[in-house]
Structure 1
Amino acid sequence: MPSTPSPLRYPGGKSSVLNMVSEIIHTNNLSGCSYAEPYAGGCGLALNLLLKGHVENIYLNDYDISIWSFWHSVLEMPTQLIQKIIDTPVTIDEWRKQRHIHSTPNEHDTLTLGFSTLFLNRTNRSGIIKAGFIGGAAQDGKYKIDCRFGKKGLIERIEKIQNHKDKINLYNLDALEFFEKTDSLLSQDGFYCIDPPYYKKGHTLYTNFYKHDDHVELARKISDLETKWILTYDNATEIKSLYPSLKQYLFNLNYSAGVKRKGTELLVVSNDISIGTKINISKVAP
């Protein structure tokens, strides 16, 4: 079985912070809780928490219709999706076809659009949909367009997720709408892990990125939530200023979008969340 449970490669993905988040869950007696992500993306962290038994079920939301279409296909049309993986050649001509499908979402059914997301994600540099394909036009380097499209591993991941579909709830809503729909449902035993688009480089990484006012509006909504939550962001002064009265920490994250490197990210937690001593983070405010 592949080491990461998600079929998607995701820039800024948080599956690498599994130990930190699972420790927060256990420290706050949230083991077996309902876990929710308003910006699910690659879902690596959520799936890890579910498959390793840290949480009972997961609520996944993504406003990007192409991302939602992929996950809907995994959950509801796995046989057809797997057949597409088997049958589709991983070539530059196919990449151009899939890019056209992805750029015209209203013209295609859910399965076709969802597969285009998977194809571009696995063939583009660092999994960034806006990027070009791996290896360049010449395809004469060490890494070629199909080097991240291991069909056997992708199929194994999809089958594993499908085995847990009764514990996965999928939404295609704006994040604020997702909070409106789920906050009262989750408030007793739920937990949000909120990972919005990066403040500084979001426009280069995501199809749906935020402007400053969007981050401000999100901060207002998060502050009103009844459900326990944690929030992760890029370490931006502008974001820190939006949560002045809440506990803020810095933690290290391994980035893989572009050159592999370590970076420092921001963690903000709701007032009813405790941070134990086993987590390697540093408190910065208040």
Structure 2
Amino acid sequence: MTLEGVPGEGDRSRRPSRNADLHSPLRYPGGKRQLVPFFVDLLKLNGQSPLPVFVEPFAGGAAVSLHLLAAGLVDSVVLADLDPLVYAFWHQACFHTEQLVQDIAAANVTLDEWHRLRANPGRTLREKAYACLFLNRTSYSGILQGRAGPIGGQKQQSAYKIDCRFYKDEIIHRLRQIGHLAADGRVAAVRPTSVEVTVEWVESKFANSERLYYFDPPFWEKGERLYRKAFGRTQHESLAALLTAMDAPWVLSYDHHEEIVELYRASVQDGSQGTSDSAGGPRLHKTDLIYCNRHKGRGATELIITNLAQLPSEHVSTA
């Protein structure tokens, strides 16, 4: 049985090919889709394409994972997020896709529904997944944190109303692309765990597989205004301690702040800061990204830290 006006599971005309692109259904604050070309070239430069396992312990919008999966540059991904709503979304999108499709197709995209879900996002994974996607697509800048209001404001007097980002057909298409990839076994796991527990689990399950971690933690600055699970200084320091002790290859992206630079610079081997050819220690780099801010481009410098020896120089410069 299929929903009226919604292509059914048996419709393979839009099934993604190995060269297809795949955008996240979520509008995530600080989303890293602009880093996709960097990761594409990074995998090729380090001879890791196709890579057996790509891990995002801070999944968020999972823009990088989705592109690499759809393009066939990685065989499988592990997604994790400590936010119960974000975890529920990815769990349902991957493993109960048609339930979420039905909920989105039937959604009444109104201010009343926004208030209902903001007050009570539900208790089951299905309810939380729907609430996550609905609130993400109808809240200012996709922010799930409680301070963000609805698109168009409480009086809906803006030219942009609450439903202006809720493109049902496109959202459903993206969900089904994700569902097809998961059905093919290419989503190895979706976990509701902390970064430490996620890394421990991956290392126990995939110790014999070539893997790459991509860490995209909450912003150092203003993180508490953007995320339901923000980081304090202690958590940023704990993450640095975890990463500098890891042997598996990893890449970390941050908003550029001197506190973060100093936190990781202390561990840079021989003061190389990205110039050494030896492997192991963190290397600091930076790149420029453009974020959307009230329909105008807002430039930002992103800090890229990694223990990989080789990075595509056309995408980064030394921090």
TM-score relative to the length of structure 1: 0.93
Q: Which amino acid is 1:81 matched to?
A: L
Superposed displacement of residue 141, structure 1 = 2.3
CA distance in 1, matches of 2:23, 2:315: 24
Q: Do the aligned residues in 2 keep the contact of 1:190 with 1:228 (CA within 8 Å)?
A: yes
Are 1:28 and 2:46 matched, yes or no? Answer: yes
Higher relative contact order (CA 8 A, sep 6+): 1
Structure 2: state its 5+ residue gaps: 1-13, 15-19, 269-281
1:196 is aligned to 217
CA distance in 2, matches of 1:86, 1:66: 19
Deviation readout 1:51-72 (Å, 9 max, x if unpaired): 0111111111101111011111
Deviation readout 1:2-58 (Å, 9 max, x if unpaired): 975211000001111100111111111111211001100111111011101111111
Q: Do the aligned residues in 2 keep the contact of 1:193 with 1:230 (CA within 8 Å)?
A: yes
Instruction: Detail structure 1 runs of 4+ shifted over 4 Å in the superposition.
Output: 1-4
2:272 is aligned to none
2:312 is aligned to 276
2:144 is aligned to 129
Out of 10, 25, 32, the position equivalent to 1:14 is 32
CA distance in 2, matches of 1:256, 1:76: 31
Out of 135, 138, 155, the position equivalent to 1:120 is 135
CA distance in 1, matches of 2:312, 2:21: 27
Residues 1-286 of structure 1: matches in 2 within 5 Å?
A: 4-33=22-51, 34-102=53-121, 108-130=123-145, 131-165=148-182, 166-168=185-187, 169-184=189-204, 185-186=206-207, 188-244=209-265, 245=268, 246-256=282-292, 258=294, 260-270=297-307, 272-277=308-313, 279-284=314-319
Q: Do the aligned residues in 1 keep the contact of 2:110 with 2:162 (CA within 8 Å)?
A: yes
CA distance in 1, matches of 2:315, 2:237: 28
Aligned identity (percent) is 33
Secondary structure, aligned partner of 2:156? coil
Secondary structure, aligned partner of 2:225? helix
Secondary structure, aligned partner of 1:250? strand
Structure 2 vs 1, CA of residues 187 and 252 (structure 1 numbering), >3 Å: closer, same or farther?
farther
Structure 2 vs 1, CA of residues 27 and 57 (structure 1 numbering), >3 Å: closer, same or farther?
same
Deviation readout 1:130-163 (Å, 9 max, x if unpaired): 3100011232322100000000001000011111
Superposed displacement of residue 243, structure 1 = 1.3
CA distance in 1, matches of 2:55, 2:226: 22
CA distance in 1, matches of 2:116, 2:98: 22
2:10 is aligned to none
CA distance in 1, matches of 2:107, 2:124: 17
Secondary structure, aligned partner of 2:288? strand
Secondary structure, aligned partner of 2:290? strand
Structure 1: state its 5+ residue gaps: none
CA RMSD of aligned residues (A): 1.7
Superposed displacement of residue 256, structure 1 = 2.5
Secondary structure, aligned partner of 1:40? coil
Q: Do the aligned residues in 1 keep the contact of 2:22 with 2:177 (CA within 8 Å)?
A: no
Deviation readout 1:101-141 (Å, 9 max, x if unpaired): 23xx5xx1110011001000000011011310001123232
Q: Do the aligned residues in 2 keep the contact of 1:11 with 1:126 (CA within 8 Å)?
A: yes
The structure having more radius of gyration, on CA atoms, is: 2
